[in-house]
């Protein structure tokens, strides 16, 4: 998606986070850091070729696709005379983005059908590297990561595909689609550059991905007409060696017939930096909705070979993203449709970003920054985007109707009838009970689950991708209290103190937040023994755009108590399970989930009036008595604090109604089942006093006390 932060002056990234973590690693205790050292060592080896057997060998780049058979079926998609041509006939791309990783697989065909009924003939989608390779050499192409099934559904529905293979995708997705483990490699990688260590890892990833999709190219009978390399690179860097290598690598796997393309903002500067410059790599543009398109399309011609520049807006914005703490973004339906007509009426092509936004299930939401890395703005769980097809698939709205009316005027084929909205329901009141405090579950961890170090280590250096990391240290009690300072916390640290000799519950002291980092005065605690300091740090989503993308998580600096460095730390990994993962990740999660059945069988563990600031698991459930009653629903968290929720072990995402604007989390019907449906909540702050949630039949974006003005284009 388009530029959202100041453009860096070069393609180098700040390395102070990695340097701080590296110093911390050097000071770590030998016994307990064995696991971390091994993890980092393996990653470093991966960067330089130690894991070659886990990957398919690269084809010869000097003779691209020389071993692949010649085509004889007559299928051809090409660019001639500044037009797209499909099988010898001029073709106008009227497309839209639908991201398979933001929609449960059971709904892929439903959403694609709604896109086709809108009048679209092409689907554009990114491929997030981190979803498919969560650990080095461990690839995943099942469940919501089953891209091949998604592409085959596009083919079934006679929808063409523009595939955006990265390796960087932006997309308001964690770390712009890069795997977290790239951050743990030493020496630090130069992302999005011709750094040999980085390029080697890209080559290995593409050696897995590109052969999988090559059989689905249009010339081979598949739906893929175009493949995008990188993403809006001109808004980031100008390393032409990197771009040329990506293009050559893609050609080696995909051959000469598929159209390779780049997408950059519609300015001379971004196009100069972001285009490959090769005659056989097409340069597309994007620009603000409402901008005059045709002067930008004329500029686009300067960066394509003569006759090779069909006007294409590869991201025509139907709406916009929303961060926590803002009002929900909205764009006017008629304004959006009129802007689209300016392109289509003169035979220009456009791809709606988004046609259908979907949801940031799990922990995969991205984040942006302002002028500094402390100006941190994480994205909502909902990725509705104010798109014509809403998060739950609804199409009965003014924007869908207005855009469809315009497309219908320029479509060469009759449009399918518009489907009805999917049925939604509210299952009503859900009574929860506290199953366990988070701190009480630490005793289920074995020695191998705890890392010790003199200084705090980042989440990446202890081998953790998402979730929470609990830091613990000890200090002597002071009669007048103590002042805690943590200069660099990514992203939000909740601070607690505990006196072992008194056997009291950990006492909440406050929060240290990336965006408003201030010293915190700890409460005076009369304690015979030493006081335990806990800092529970939440990874709220890695930055996905701009110069601060090297976004490690956790405590990234020394910790100071009354001005002196506090040493001697234990780190407890609490990843929880993410999208497309099993619940076996961490014993804490297993214990938290085991409490569900006790609650559902009326065997309450810890009854609570809800008056606590200590993180805890809460569980409950609701019944679905007939298959016909299984419908989409939303869980309303109005009155609750902040946390993450699971329905039937499916991570439906983060909630933060006190900050807003999102009140309700979307629960697709395929997540539900006949009989008892379990709901588990990790509440980080204060639950609603009555411990009640509600299942309702519609979204709600009216929570919080937003100070931002309405985002309206």
Which sequence positions are flagged as catalytic? 232, 315
Burial status of residue 69 (CB atoms within 10 A of its CB: 0-12, 13-18, 19 or more) = exposed
How far apart (Å, rounded) are the C-alpha atoms in residues 148 and 222? 11
Q: Which residues, at least 6 apart from 257, have a Cβ–Cβ distance to it below 8 Å?
A: 71, 76, 78, 217, 218, 219
Please state at what angle helix 293-301 crosses helix 333-344, rounded to 10 degrees: 40
Backbone angles phi, psi at 49, to 5 degrees: 105, 10
Burial status of residue 319 (CB atoms within 10 A of its CB: 0-12, 13-18, 19 or more) = buried
Burial status of residue 240 (CB atoms within 10 A of its CB: 0-12, 13-18, 19 or more) = middle
| Residue 308 and residue 690 in contact, taking contact as beta carbons nearer than 8 Å | no
What does the DSSP assignment read for 281-324? EEEEEE--TTS-HHHHHHHHHTTS-TT----EEEEEESS---BT
Enter the tokens of residue 23.
């110093």
Strands (E), 92-222: 94-98, 122-126, 160-164
| Residue 575 and residue 467 in contact, taking contact as beta carbons nearer than 8 Å | yes
How far apart (Å, rounded) are the C-alpha atoms in residues 520 and 511? 8
How far apart (Å, rounded) are the C-alpha atoms in residues 507 and 181? 34
Bridge-based pairing of strands 281-286 and 312-317 is parallel
| 313, 315, 320, 324 alpha-carbon torsion, rounded to 10° | -150
Enter the tokens of residue 270.
């971004």
Cα–Cα distances in angstroms (integers) from residue 300 to residues 8, 258, 662, in the given order: 23, 20, 38
Q: Which of 436, 450, 433 is nearest to 586 (CA)?
A: 450
How far apart (Å, rounded) are the C-alpha atoms in residues 207 and 249? 9
Rg (CA), the chain: 26
Q: What angle do CA 103, 105, 108 make, to 5 degrees?
A: 70
Bridge-based pairing of strands 616-624 and 569-574 is unpaired
Q: What residue has token string 């999208």?
A: 579
Bridge-based pairing of strands 650-655 and 643-647 is antiparallel
Cα–Cα distances in angstroms (integers) from residue 419 to residues 176, 401, 546, in the given order: 33, 12, 39
């Amino acid at each position: 998606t388009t530029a959202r932060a100041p453009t860096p002056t070069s393609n180098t990234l700040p390395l102070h986070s990695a340097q701080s973590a590296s110093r911390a690693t050097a000071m770590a205790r030998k016994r307990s850091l064995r696991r971390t050292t091994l993890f980092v060592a393996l990653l470093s080896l991966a960067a330089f070729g130690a894991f070659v057997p886990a990957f398919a060998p690269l084809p010869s780049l000097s003779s691209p696709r020389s071993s692949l058979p010649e085509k004889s079926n007559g299928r051809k998609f090409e660019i001639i005379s500044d037009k797209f041509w499909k099988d010898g006939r001029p073709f106008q791309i009227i497309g839209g983005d639908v991201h398979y990783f933001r929609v449960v697989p059971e709904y892929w065909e439903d959403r694609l059908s709604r896109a086709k009924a809108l009048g679209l003939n092409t689907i554009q989608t990114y491929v997030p590297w981190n979803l498919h390779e969560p650990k080095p050499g461990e690839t995943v192409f099942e469940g919501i990561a089953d891209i091949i099934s998604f592409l085959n559904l596009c083919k079934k529905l006679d929808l063409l595909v523009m595939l955006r293979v990265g390796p960087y995708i932006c997309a308001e997705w964690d770390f712009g689609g890069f795997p977290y483990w790239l951050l743990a490699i030493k020496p630090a990688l130069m992302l999005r550059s011709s750094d040999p260590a980085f390029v080697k890892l890209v080559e290995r990833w593409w050696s897995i991905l590109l052969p999988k999709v090559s059989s689905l190219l249009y010339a081979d009978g598949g739906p893929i007409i175009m493949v995008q390399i990188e993403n809006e690179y001109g808004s980031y860097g100008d390393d032409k060696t990197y771009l040329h290598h990506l293009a050559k690598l893609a050609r080696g796997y995909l051959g000469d017939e598929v159209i390779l393309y780049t997408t950059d903002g519609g300015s001379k500067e971004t196009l100069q930096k972001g285009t490959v410059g090769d005659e056989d790599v097409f340069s597309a543009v994007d620009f603000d909705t409402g901008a005059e398109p045709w002067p930008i399309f004329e500029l686009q011609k300067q960066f394509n070979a003569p006759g090779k520049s069909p006007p294409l807006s590869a991201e025509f914005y139907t709406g916009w993203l929303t961060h926590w703490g803002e009002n929900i973004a909205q764009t006017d339906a008629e304004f959006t449709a009129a802007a689209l007509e300016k392109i289509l009426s003169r035979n220009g092509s456009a791809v709606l970003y988004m046609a259908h936004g979907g949801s940031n299930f799990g922990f995969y939401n991205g984040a942006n920054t302002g002028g500094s890395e402390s100006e941190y703005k994480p994205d909502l769980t909902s990725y509705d985007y104010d798109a014509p097809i809403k998060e739950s698939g609804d199409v009965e709205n003014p924007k869908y109707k207005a855009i469809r009316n315009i497309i219908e005027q320029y479509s060469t084929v009759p449009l399918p009838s518009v489907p009805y909205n999917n049925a939604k329901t509210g299952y009503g009141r859900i009574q929860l009970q506290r199953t366990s405090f988070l701190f009480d579950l630490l005793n289920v961890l074995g020695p191998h689950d705890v890392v010790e170090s003199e200084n705090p280590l980042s989440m990446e250096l202890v081998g953790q991708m998402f979730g929470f990391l609990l830091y613990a240290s000890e200090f002597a009690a002071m009669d007048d209290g103590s002042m805690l300072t943590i200069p660099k916390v990514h992203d939000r640290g909740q601070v607690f103190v505990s006196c072992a000799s008194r056997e009291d519950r950990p006492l909440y002291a406050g929060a240290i937040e990336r965006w408003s980092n201030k010293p915190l005065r700890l409460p005076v605690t009369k304690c015979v023994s030493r006081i335990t300091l806990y800092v529970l740090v939440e990874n709220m989503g890695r930055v996905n755009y701009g110069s601060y993308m090297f976004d490690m998580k956790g405590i990234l600096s020394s910790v100071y108590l009354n001005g002196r460095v506090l040493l001697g730390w234990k780190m407890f990994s609490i990843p929880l399970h993410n999208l497309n993962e099993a619940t076996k990740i961490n014993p804490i999660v297993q214990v938290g989930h085991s409490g569900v059945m006790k609650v559902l069988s009326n065997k309450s563990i810890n009854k609570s009036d809800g008056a606590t600031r200590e993180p805890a698991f809460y569980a409950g459930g609701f019944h679905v008595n007939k298959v016909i009653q299984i419908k989409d629903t939303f869980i309303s968290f109005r009155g609750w604090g902040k946390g993450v929720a699971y329905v039937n072990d499916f991570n439906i995402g983060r909630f933060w109604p006190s900050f807003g604007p999102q009140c309700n989390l979307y629960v697709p019907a395929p997540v539900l089942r006949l009989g008892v449906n379990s709901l588990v909540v990790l509440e980080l702050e204060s639950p609603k006093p009555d411990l009640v949630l509600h299942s309702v039949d519609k979204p709600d974006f009216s929570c919080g006390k937003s100070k931002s003005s309405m985002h309206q284009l």
